[in-house]
Each structure stands twice: as structure tokens, then as C-alpha cells.
Amino acid sequence: MYTYLYIDCPIGPLWILSDGEAICGVHLEKDGICSSLEENPDSLCRRCALELQEYFAGKRKAFDLPLRLQGTEFQRKVWKALRQIPYGTTVTYGDLAALAGYPRAARAVGTALRNNPLWLFVPCHRVVGAKDLGGYGGPDGAPIKRQLLELEGALRAPGEV
């Protein structure tokens, strides 16, 4: 059974999903995934909300939450490599592909990132294009990516990665 918690964040309203043992998902309310959810948080959801509040306040650089990522073997390898990118730094899609053991799979890495259900905790926003920010979670995700990178101090100047 899953439990849910709704929280307001600087990037928009979020729903946190827990299975009681691990955080399984985080969804922006606008995603439409959450339209039928009712809040029934467990202690893990509340702990997650506290860590997110600390992160957005600039007081937390790493999350200390049990996470459950379900995906293909390729996706899990990409997500594992993604967790190695330190707070406040960025790598390119090509860099992440090499780090995951697939040096010629930058485009496939982008697809794996798009399917990451824990995008705030397994930090997709730290992966950028070679010449620009790259994509992020849909057509209006770029402002969120920029906001997260600015929060972490990962943008060198306005418009630069």
C-alpha cells in the first residue's frame, strides 16, 4: 500500500509517494498523475518533506532517504551513475553515459533520465547539454531545471552551464 503527502515547494506543489519502506516517487501536481490521490502520509513521507524543505532552504546538500527505483537494467545503471554527481556540479549527457558504462549512449541516457521517478533525489537536473541546459521533464521543465541549478550554485552566469 502506498502513502502520499502533498507539499508546497518553490518549484511547485509536489506529491511524495512512499511504500512504507522507501520513497518511490515524487510528482509535480501539474503532471496529472496525482489528480485522484488523497493525502495519507506515513513517517517516511513526513521525513522526506522535511528534507525537501531543508534542501530548498539551502540547508541540505544530500538526501538521507531510502529510495526505491524500478526500471530496466540500463536505467538503473544510469540512475546509479547520476547519484555520483555532487551537489553544485553538472555533467553532460555524454559524460553521464560514459560514467554509466555506455559511452556512446548519450541519447539513451536522456531517455533514462526522463523516466526517473525520483528526479529530485536522483538529480537529473545536474545533467546538461554540451551547449545548453538540455531538457528536463517535459516542455515546461527548463525553468525548474534552471531553478534547481541556481539553488545549488551550478550556473556560472545567467544562461551558462
User: If you count them, how many residues does the chain have?
Assistant: 161
Q: Which residues are catalytic?
A: 124
Contacts of 61 (CB under 8 A, 6+ apart): 55, 87, 88, 152
Per-residue pLDDT of the chain (161 residues; tens, 9 = 90+): 889 999 999 998 899 999 999 999 998 875 555 555 667 889 999 999 999 999 999 999 999 999 999 999 999 999 999 999 999 999 999 999 999 999 999 999 999 999 999 999 999 999 999 888 888 875 568 899 999 999 999 876 444 55
Residue 135 DSSP one-character state: -
User: Could you tell me which of 132, 83, 81, 90 has the C-alpha nearest to residue 108?
Assistant: 81
pTM of the model: 0.88
Q: Mind listing the domains of the chain with CATH numbers?
A: 3-56 (no CATH), 73-151 (1.10.10.10)
Max Cα–Cα distance, the chain, nearest Å: 45
